[in-house]
Structure 1
């Protein structure tokens, strides 16, 4: 069974590119959203295994969305991975305080990277290389260093 993914980003071009990339890598993209309201609705309707949330959603905030999903119990049945075009170090404290299981820089998004983050978070069984100092968190640099 394919991993089911919801992508939340305010950039339509990125949504299209990420969807195509992930689907080619065997991940079923069950929905895309560009606002918190759409993301909350689709998370309930589509029941994805993982949701990729852009930290910056235009006037909205991806961290707020991750917290809202956690408050309604979503993160008990599905994982959240935060994404951004910016480096993880720019948001390290906020990422660590969030309910997300990991972070990926947008250029590093791939089916393999998502599966590795979920594996380290305990939602799938996979082999990975180095992990971040906090074993419950993974950042894109860790995924880049893992063996192929």
Structure 2
């Protein structure tokens, strides 16, 4: 069975980039969201196996998004996506329940590694 992924990023081209990489790796993208609020709503509806979550987004950022999803499902598997220089936010995201993080610009092998690591926990 394929791993089902929800991609969360406010930038359309970033979502497309991640989507291209994860589908190439053989995973299924079940949904996309532009912010943490949408992510939590879609998480309830789609029940994905894994979420990739951007940190900096309008309306509800990734850290709040992680907390919202963890309230819905304490076992949710979330990988944060951040730009360079957001280390303190990455630490906060991990304390909030994210299980790994990948730094932009994305590299296919790093995404594969993060997904495998999180799914095998």
TM-score (norm 1): 0.70
2-side partners of 1:49 and 1:87: how far apart? 28
Unpaired runs of 5+ residues, structure 2, are none
Give per-residue Cα distances to partners, 1:11-40, cap 9 Å, x unaligned: 011111211111011010110000223212
Give per-residue Cα distances to partners, 1:40-84, cap 9 Å, x unaligned: 221112111100110101343110110111122x232x3011111
Structure having the higher Rg: 1
Q: Residue 26 of structure 2 aligns to a residue in which SS?
A: coil
TM-score (norm 2): 0.84
Aligned length: 119
- Is the 8 Å Cα contact of residues 80 and 90 (structure 2) preserved in structure 1? no
Of 60, 82, 85, 1:84 maps to: 82
Distance apart, 1:98 and its partner CA: 1.6
* Aligned equivalent of 1:67: 67
Distance apart, 1:90 and its partner CA: 4.2
Distance apart, 1:9 and its partner CA: 0.4
Runs of 4+ in 1 over 4 A off after TM superposition: none
CA RMSD of aligned residues (A): 2.0
Taking a change above 3 Å as real, the CA distance of residues 63 and 84 of structure 1, as seen in their structure-2 partners, is same
Matched, 1:114 2:114: yes
Distance apart, 1:108 and its partner CA: 3.7
Bigger RCO (CA 8 Å, 6+ sep): 2
* Aligned equivalent of 1:28: 28
* Aligned equivalent of 2:7: 7
Taking a change above 3 Å as real, the CA distance of residues 93 and 20 of structure 1, as seen in their structure-2 partners, is closer
Distance apart, 1:117 and its partner CA: 2.5
